[in-house]
């Protein structure tokens, strides 16, 4: 084989192998991200199911909020998923009974509720909205602010 031809083949094949390795890495990264999203969704749905069984359990609420926030962060920029903080709050509001208040949560857990916890602050928000002190837009804005702090 001619030395020039061999040199050309080497010069062309090395960058080509580099591109193939790069593309393989991208494919693996996409698979890992998809797996992380699936795992986060399953964990969130499991926590949501536990919360449905015990809607006044503050620890279950905190865990569901944490897992939901993790899931939101993983799918925030995914074009194929449409789940955000508002959807998270809608899920949580759906499993919480309408009469859940700070007092009923404290009685059910047999511990005094921390007035600075996210659950307590969300309960206060629901009460204010129920009394007509907040508009729906203000309510959702404040919910998002509380979730962002978690």
Asked whether residue 136 carries a pLDDT value surpassing 90, the answer given is no
Domain ranges of the chain: 40-149
Instruction: Return mean pLDDT, the chain.
Output: 79
Q: What is the mean pLDDT of the segment spanning 114-123?
A: 78
User: What is the distance between the alpha carbons of residues 144 and 146, in angstroms, rounded to a whole number?
Assistant: 5
pTM over 0.75: no
Q: How far from 102 is each of 126, 127, 146, CA to CA, in Å?
A: 10, 9, 16
Q: Three-class SS string for 28-69?
A: HHHHHHHHHHHHHHHHHHHHHHHHHHCCCCHHHHHHHHHHHH
74-108 tens-digit pLDDT? 887 776 677 777 788 788 888 876 544 444 544 54
Q: What is the mean pLDDT of the segment spanning 21-26?
A: 81
Nearest residue to 75 via CA among 33, 106, 105, 110? 33
């Amino acid at each position: 084989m001619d030395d020039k031809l061999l040199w050309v083949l080497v010069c062309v094949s090395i960058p080509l192998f580099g591109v193939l390795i790069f593309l393989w890495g991208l494919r693996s990264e996409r698979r890992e991200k998809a797996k992380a999203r699936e795992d986060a969704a399953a964990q969130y749905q499991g926590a949501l199911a536990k919360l449905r069984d015990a809607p006044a359990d503050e620890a279950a609420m905190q865990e569901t909020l944490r897992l939901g926030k993790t899931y939101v962060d993983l799918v925030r920029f995914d074009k194929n998923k449409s789940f955000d903080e508002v959807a998270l709050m809608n899920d949580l509001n759906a499993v919480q009974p309408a009469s859940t208040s700070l007092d009923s949560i404290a009685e059910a857990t047999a511990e005094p509720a921390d007035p600075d916890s996210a659950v307590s602050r969300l309960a206060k928000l629901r009460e204010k909205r129920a009394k007509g002190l907040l508009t729906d837009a203000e309510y959702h804005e404040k919910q998002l602010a509380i979730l962002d702090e978690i």
